[in-house]
Amino acid sequence: MNCIVCIEYIIVAVMVLSAIFAVEWGDLLAAVVGMTAVSLFASVLFFFLQAPDVAMTEAAIGAAMSAAVFIFAIKRTQRYESEEEGAGWWLRW
Amino acid sequence: MISLYYFGAISLILIGMYAVLVKRNLLKMLVGLSIMETGVNLLLISIGYVSNRTAPILSEGATPQNTVDPIPQALVLTAIVIGVATTALALTVVINLYSKYKTLDVEEIRRLRG
Amino acid sequence: MVKRILAIIMLLIVGFWMANALSGVPFGEDKMLVGKYYLENVKEQTGAVNAVTAVVVNYRGFDTLGEVTVLFIASTGVGALLWRKKKERTAKSEGSVVLRTGSRILLPFIMLFGAYIFIHGHLTPGGGFPGGATIATAFLMLYLAFKDYEIEHKVFEPIEGLAGVGYVTVGLIGLAIGSYFLFDWIWQTWGWGHENIGRLLSAGFIPIIYTLIGIKVGTELTGIVDNMVREEVKGND
């Protein structure tokens, strides 16, 4: 029912699912959001593994700095992965 | 079999490696590389964990017999910052590639050789 | 399609091999060897209460100098690769009223919080690197809120350089006084702060080095953001 082990299973499952979506989506902004979600869930797992310095550093740097630098690079290049139309239902959700 | 944290870290490494091997867009490859770095850091910290012990800060109540290993945490603290610095440098190379070749597809850049 | 299937098969083989190797490392057992020595002697030899930051700055200070060098090379590389003759901001619209007002109010508190993190690095979790990243986040918020905001280049770049020079100077003072580079002369030669373990003014040169690292990382990440945001504006358009 309410055990701390259940929360660990849920967080690891959502982290792996978010990583799969980050790699698969065709819109690159959505992929960056997925990568940020992976970083934030990893920060929560670092807290469960009794490592507070690493959790703070991952939350500050992985979530804020890495996402911002990626979004500035997307602004200066292109937003979608490939420009072809009708490439399949899985590319542009 | 293996513990839950090992499974999560290995899956992140494999998903990141899939993105680097199969995808054709340069920015998607860099997303995969960054996910792989997060997975490696998670694996390093989960090796240094000892059950039923607390964080390595020796204030009142925590004795040296009661804390987890501080050395993998010192190593990962450095690795996270270096990861974001190399990602920023790789992204500026991608920006310069786009302004020269007008495409981000690795197959076409390999053929252009401008 | 063939490439995809071959990649998935190879990744499954690699994953199975890694899982097989990790089943010989039991999760949650006590395997500390060097960590035990560091934990038992950290209070007398360094005076810090946080064992992780004592390892990063005091026992392994030279590796931290190498990391600061890698950050400096990355920041210089970003500035060199994106250099154009004339760069300007190309944002088309400002942020909303909520964003502008909120960022003006929150800016001093975020910088205060970042300074708190790196000044208390030897007592509470954190240290120089998340503190510097928090200060860089404050400037990133200003970049996102205002259309024409730029940092003062003549103030930021000398501060970054002087912080890096300061770290090497602290190490060279240790070489001049005692025996080796990055020798903790405040704790071991002068003996300041021995009765103050657990409070702010203790732990030798760890607060000094973390302040320098925090300032350097904060200004460096802000410089990276600034270089990536401003684009080249062609003269005749």
The number of beta carbons lying within 10 Å of the beta carbon of residue B60 is 6
Q: Does C185 map to a domain?
A: yes
Q: Does C147 map to a domain?
A: yes
Q: How far is B96 from chain A (nearest CA, A)?
A: 9
Q: Is C182 left (phi over 0), alpha (psi -120 to 50) or beta?
A: left
Residues whose CB falls within 8 Å of the CB of residue B96, separated by 6 or more in sequence, listed in order: C81, C82
Which residue from C7, C206, C221 is spatially nearest to C118, judged by alpha carbons? C206
Interface B-C, measured as beta-carbon pairs within 8 A, has a size of 127
Q: How big is chain B by its Cα radius of gyration, in Å?
A: 20
Question: What distance in Å separates the CA atoms of residue B86 and residue C107, rounded to the nearest whole number?
Answer: 28
Q: Does C138 map to a domain?
A: yes
Q: Which CATH class is domain B4-112?
A: mainly alpha
The number of beta carbons lying within 10 Å of the beta carbon of residue A77 is 19
Would you call A60 an interface residue with chain B, using a CB distance cutoff of 8 Å?
no
Q: What is the pLDDT of residue A84?
A: 61
- Residue C231 forms beta bridges with which residues? C88
Q: What is the pLDDT of residue C198?
A: 77
What is this structure's pTM?
A: 0.91
The number of beta carbons lying within 10 Å of the beta carbon of residue C60 is 18
CA-to-CA dists, residue C152 to C75, C136, C138, C177, angstroms: 17, 14, 15, 38
Q: How far is A51 from chain B (nearest CA, A)?
A: 6
CB C230 within 8 A of CB C88: yes
Average pLDDT along chain C, 237 residues, taken 10 residues at a time: 91 94 89 89 87 91 93 94 87 87 93 93 90 94 89 91 93 86 82 78 87 94 92 68
Would you call B94 an interface residue with chain A, using a CB distance cutoff of 8 Å?
yes
Residue A90 has pLDDT above 70, yes or no: no
Q: Does C12 map to a domain?
A: no
Would you call C52 an interface residue with chain A, using a CB distance cutoff of 8 Å?
yes
Binary contact (A50, B54; C-beta < 8 A): yes
Closest-approach residue (CA) in chain A for B94: A73
Interface A-C, measured as beta-carbon pairs within 8 A, has a size of 46
Q: Where are the domains of chain B?
A: 4-112
Q: Residue A59's pLDDT band (boundaries 50, 70, 90)?
A: very high
What is the arithmetic mean of pLDDT over A45-69?
93
Q: What is the pLDDT of residue A93?
A: 46
Q: Is C83 exposed, middle or buried (0-12, 13-18, 19+ CB in 10 A)?
A: exposed
Q: Does C22 map to a domain?
A: no
Binary contact (B89, C78; C-beta < 8 A): yes
Q: For residue C143, what are its two tokens?
A: 């970049």
- Render C71-117 in DSSP notation, one character per residue: HHHHHHHHHHHT--SSEE----S---HHHHHHHHHHHHHHHHHHHHH
Which domain covers residue C119, as residue numbers?
A: 45-83+96-228
Residue segments in chain B with a per-residue pLDDT below the cut of 50: none
Number of domains in chain C: 1
Would you call C137 an interface residue with chain A, using a CB distance cutoff of 8 Å?
yes
Q: What is the ipTM of this complex?
A: 0.89
Chain B residues inside the 8 Å CB shell of A70: 27, 30-31, 87, 91
Q: What is the pLDDT of residue A86?
A: 44
What is the arithmetic mean of pLDDT over A49-60?
93
Q: Does C14 map to a domain?
A: no
Say what the alpha-carbon torsion angle A55, A67, C148, C235 is, to the nearest 10 degrees: 140
The pLDDT tens digits for B61-79 are 788 888 999 999 999 999 9
Tell me, what amino acid is at C40?
E
Q: Does C39 map to a domain?
A: no
